[in-house]
Copies of this chain bind each other. A is one copy, B any other.
Amino acid sequence: MSKKLTSRAEDYSKWYNELVVKADLAENSAVRGCMVIKPYGYAIWEKMQAELDKKFKETGHQNAYFPLFVPKSLFEAEEKNAEGFAKECAVVTHYRLQNDPDKPGKLRVDPNAKLEEELVVRPTSEAIIWNTYRNWIQSYRDLPILVNQWANVVRWEMRTRLFLRTAEFLWQEGHTAHATKAEAIAEAEQMNNVYANFVENFMAIPVIQGLKTESERFAGAEETYCIEALMQDGKALQAGTSHFLGQNFAKAFDVKFANKEGKQDYVWATSWGVSTRLMGALIMTHSDDNGLVLPPNLAPNQVVIVPIYKSEEQLTAITEVVNSIVNNLRAKNISVKFDNRDTLRPGAKFAQHELQGVPLRIAIGARDLENGTVELARRDTLTKEVVTLDGLIDKVQGLMTEIQESLFNKALDFRNTHITKVDSFEEFKTVLETKTGFISAHWDGTAETENKIKELTKATIRCIPLENDSESGVCVYTGAPSKGRVLFAKAY
């Protein structure tokens, strides 16, 4: 709490880093690039998990758990996937420590305990899972397999940032197996829809659904569906991806099945995932210079009640009223905390709850008792109003919906006003540097142009939107023909 946050205008990146730590969401650990997710941050992640897990189960998926380690020989089996992740793999080479003969009280790696085959700490689990699926699948009757895993993964990134890019992160990864190409594509599309629906309706973050270009695809995928969100600083953030993997992993791991006609064919695959990166998206979509702003669906405490009193008698009288409010709110499934700590003044409590993004604060003092009122303070708009106790519960319940929707609409407005159609490369560069946001432009479809634009501007193609006008034109960079506009942006 102590000092104020750096403002977004002053330094957006610094604002973000400070907010994550000061709002008690996460912090850096003693392990390079790995974070500690603190209880308050983890409680938000748990709400995301619970909702996603429900959606996965509603769409017929089951959870399972596969090993953390991938033997090197399996890891390298699907070559494109291996190539994509090889440069950022944590590798286990030994299985024992021993006393260091040179340094009493210290340990060293036991040179005699070298593994015959190195183990890669999973950066993603296609390899270990498809090696397992080989034994699960003989016939079309064994298909589809619709499995999800909640797990930690490790990608040894050189430049890390809390939640956005960490060496270890938490995620879910769905891995499905199908008898037909069409069914696998439908699954990949379905899960991208599930993500879009979750991120928009539960996290109040508008997203654009699209396809990645070949260079931005998941290593080993034939097609990558994605949802792209826009942060307040005009940079895009990939919030989730769903991959149609074709028969690539089935071929690499020799996973065949007998179809209804008794003929052998390779199995079709998808994989899809979202991670603790969503925490970063959440923070950078809604928060302000006072700290975190949480949509009610994700708030560990949706309402906090702060008593304002000068004597024990006043506190007792207030507590009696508060207990009734608390019970009535809980009966409506609204989570509420009565912050009656005697170690902090009301002002300090206000500041903390503001910093931590509690959607609604109720303050109640001696005069309120007399008048039968309370003071409501909305975190999203920072507005206050005095309301009567009578009708309070309905009022609060209404505000939960209103705040959730208002946050979404605000983010949607921002996003919509930050999609700019440009038709020249000069305009492209100007908009990118001044207005920022998504740039909708024609592209000639080549990786060469894509790379050149990236080199010149740092903007990448975020996606080829699924809902695309079938407008033909000419590439903003080369002037070659284009079948439709794509979305460029600088990105996290």
* A residues whose Cβ falls under 8 Å from a Cβ of B: 27, 29-31, 34-39, 42-43, 46, 62-72, 74-76, 79, 82, 86-99, 105-107, 109, 118-121, 128, 131-132, 135, 141, 147, 151-152, 154, 156, 168, 170, 343
Contact A30 B74 (CB under 8 A): yes
The copy count of this chain in the complex is 2
Q: Within the complex, what minimum Cβ distance (angstroms) separates A377 from chain B?
A: 25
- Complex Cα–Cα for A303 and B263 (A): 37
**CA of A91 to CA of B112 in the docked complex: distance in angstroms?**
13
19 CB-based A-B contacts, threshold 8 Å = A29-B67, A30-B67, A30-B71, A30-B128, A31-B70, A31-B119, A36-B64, A37-B65, A43-B62, A68-B121, A69-B168, A72-B107, A75-B97, A75-B107, A86-B98, A86-B99, A90-B94, A91-B95, A92-B92
- B-side contacts of A82, CB under 8 Å: 97, 107
When the two chains form the complex, which single residue of B65, B70, B89, B106 contacts A76, counting CB atoms closer than 8 Å? B106
B63 and A39 within 8 A (CB): yes
- Name the B residues within 8 Å of A38 (CB-CB): 64
A74 to chain B, nearest CB (A): 6
- Min CB distance A142 to B, Å, is 11
Report the bound CA distance from A118 to B71 in whole Å. 19
Q: How far is the CB of A374 from chain B (nearest CB, A)?
A: 28
A147 to B42, CA, bound (A): 11
Q: Give Cα distance in the complex from A90 to B110, angstroms.
A: 11
Q: Are A131 and B91 in contact (CB under 8 A)?
A: no
In the complex the two chains form, is A107's CB within 8 Å of B95's CB? Answer: no
Chain B nearest CB: distance from A109 CB in Å?
A: 5
Instruction: Let me know if B91 and A92 touch, CB within 8 A.
Output: yes
* Cα of A43 to Cα of B62 in the assembled complex, Å: 8
For the complex with contacts A89-B96, A90-B119, 9 further pairs of A-B residues with Cβ separation under 8 Å are A68-B154, A76-B106, A76-B107, A79-B105, A86-B107, A87-B97, A90-B95, A91-B109, A109-B118
Interface of A, secondary structure class, is: mixed
Bound Cα distance A98, B87 (Å): 7
How close is A21's CB to chain B, nearest CB, in angstroms?
11
Which residues in B have their C-beta under 8 angstroms from that of A91? Answer: 92-97, 109
Chain B hits for A79, CB < 8 A: 105
A128–chain B nearest beta-carbon distance, Å? 7
Closest to A45 in B: B65
A24→B377 CA distance, assembly (Å): 53
Cross-interface CB contact of A42 among B34, B62, B95, cutoff 8 Å: B62
Contacts of A141 on B, CB cut-off 8 Å? 343
Cβ-defined partner of A35 (8 Å) among B67, B96, B106: B67
- Least CB distance from A98 to B in Å reads 7
Q: Which residue of B lies closest to A276 (CB)?
A: B65
Chain B residue contacts of A151, Cβ below 8 A: 152
| Known A64-B42, A91-B109, A92-B91: A132·B29 in contact at CB below 8 Å | yes
The minimal Cβ–Cβ distance linking A482 to chain B, given in whole angstroms, is 36
Which chain B residues border A62 with CB–CB below 8 Å? 39, 42-43
State A37–B71 Cα separation when bound (angstroms).
18
* A31:B67 contact, CB within 8 angstroms: yes
Which residues of chain B are near A39, meaning CB under 8 Å? 62-64, 147
Chain B residue at minimum C-beta to C-beta distance from A136: B38
A37 to chain B, nearest CB (A): 4
CA distance A70 to B29 in the complex (A): 10
Chain B: which residue is nearest A79 at the CB level?
A: B105
Closest to A150 in B: B150
Q: How far is the CA of A86 from the CA of B279 in the complex (A)?
A: 35
Please give me the residue from chain B that is nearest to A107 by CB atom. Answer: B76
Chain B residues lying within 8 Å of A67, measured Cβ to Cβ, are 29-31, 34-36, 168
Do B86 and A96 have beta carbons less than 8 Å apart?
Answer: yes
Contacts of A92 in B (CB 8 A): 90-93, 121
Report yes or no: B42 in contact with A65, Cβ–Cβ below 8 A.
yes
The reply to whether A128 and B31 contact each other, CB–CB distance below 8 Å, is yes
For A65, what are the chain B residues with a Cβ–Cβ distance below 8 Å? 36-37, 42, 170
